[in-house]
Amino acid sequence: MVGSLTRYGYCDRLRQMSRLLNRMIAGRLEDAAQTLRQHGAGDACVGAYVQAASSVRRWPISMSVMYRHRGIEGLEEVPGVGPAIARGIEKLLLHHRLLPLGPVASVPTSRAHDERPSLGEELLDVDREYREQSAAGTLPLIAPYRHNPTGNQWLPVLHTRRGPRCYTALYSNTERAHRLGRTRDWVVLYVSDGDAKRQFTVITATHGALRGHRVVAGHERTSRTLERHAA
């Protein structure tokens, strides 16, 4: 009888700890939503964090347990927690801080003092996510208008977020990409950050010190810096 009561007490403490941790994470996600709103992020970006915070707060299992047993995929089982927010929760669990949320004006050439990832790193990370999911066949396919006389749905497209920025990624379907045989190498990234909209292309370098590495076209110096950090 005493042993049973002890076990019940232990389970109660675990449930209480799980609730406390999930409430803390939910609070941080709500803070993130407020920060995004203050920086002028769109309603969709802000709403994603609000919805995720609500789901995490009500989730009966500790986010730490979900992550320990199933990693990022476990966190994504929580309704409203997509890949970007799951990575933020992972960062919070491992390093007690969320991914950076403030707007970025340009592609920086070095890592900030607080070791937040630069936009260059972010672009390469979105490129990685797109190519991995494309190879796995998990992305929806669209039928591009150009260079597609049969109207086939062959072009995979990814919609994802990193902090306040919304991304659309897809392989390049330009005449030059077709001519050079790079339609499964060049990845075009459309970035929306509030009212600002930009476009980048990530490619595999074919010469120089970065040959064989993924680089942001036009920002090879930034990519070289990122390679040094990764080494």
Q: Does a structural domain hold residue 91?
A: yes
Same domain, 206 and 128: yes
168, 173, 198, 231 alpha-carbon torsion, rounded to 10°: 80
Q: Does 54 lie in the same domain as 6?
A: yes
Distance CA 221, CA 168 (A): 24
User: How confident is the prediction along the chain (231 residues), in pLDDT tens digits per residue?
Assistant: 434 434 444 455 656 667 788 888 888 888 888 877 776 667 777 788 888 888 888 888 888 888 888 888 888 888 888 777 888 888 888 876 554 443 322 333 333 333 344 677 889 999 999 999 999 999 998 888 788 888 888 899 999 988 888 899 999 988 888 889 999 999 999 988 876 788 889 999 887 777 888 888 876 555 444 444 444
Residue owning tokens 């500790």: 62
Which residues are CB-neighbours of 197 under 8 A, at least 6 positions away? Answer: 190, 191
The structural domain count of the chain equals 2
Whole domain around residue 60: which residue ranges?
A: 2-95
Indicate whether 206 belongs to any domain: yes
Q: Given this model, what pLDDT does residue 97 score?
A: 58
The whole-number pLDDT of residue 126 equals: 93
Answer whether residue 60 is part of any domain: yes
Residue 100 maps to a domain: no
Would you say residue 113 lies in a domain? no
pLDDT at 5: 38
Q: Are residues 26 and 74 in the same domain?
A: yes
How is the beta sheet containing 165-171 ordered, strand by strand?
Answer: 141-142, 155-162, 165-171, 187-193, 196-204, 214-216
- The answer to whether residue 210 sits within a structural domain is yes
Residues 136 and 82 occupy one common structural domain: no
| pTM of full prediction above 0.85 | no
What's the CATH number where 53 sits?
1.10.150.110
Residue among 199, 196, 225 nearest 213 (CA): 225
56 in the same domain as 124: no
Residue 104 belongs to a domain: no
Residues 6 and 39 in one domain: yes
Task: Mark whether 129 and 81 lie in a shared domain.
Answer: no
The whole-number pLDDT of residue 103 equals: 33
Q: Closest by alpha carbon to 56, among 84, 70, 75?
A: 75
Domain assignment of residue 105, yes or no: no
In this predicted structure, what is the pLDDT of residue 111? 39
Residue 82 and residue 147 in one domain: no
Rounded to whole angstroms, the Cα distance separating 227 from 221 reads 10
pLDDT of residue 7: 47
Distance CA 119, CA 160 (A): 15
